[in-house]
Amino acid sequence: MPAAPRYANEPLTDANTAESAAGALGKLISKMDIGSDNTLEGLVRELLKPMVKEWLDANLARIVEEKVEAEVQRIARMAR
């Protein structure tokens, strides 16, 4: 069995870089209103909300209309 790479369990950044990045992320999170969900997942969720809303506003009505029409056609075929 081959030996594990020498750096397999070491972090990708040194302590100073990690601390600096954590501080910058903390400042960003504190500037955003993400409520009590103070996690990276919460931050991503809040950043995605406007994009998802824009996409839904542009596409949801058409998708629902197509699906309802397809379902009505399917039921109509069953009635024949």
CA 67 – CA 60 distance, rounded (Å): 11
Cβ-contact 51, 63 below 8 angstroms: no
How confident is the model over 8-48, as pLDDT tens digits? 677 777 788 888 888 887 887 777 665 566 788 888 888 99
Q: What does the pLDDT read at residue 9?
A: 74
Query: pLDDT-derived band of residue 51, with 50, 70 and 90 as boundaries?
Result: very high
Q: What does the pLDDT read at residue 53?
A: 95
Q: What does the pLDDT read at residue 32?
A: 67
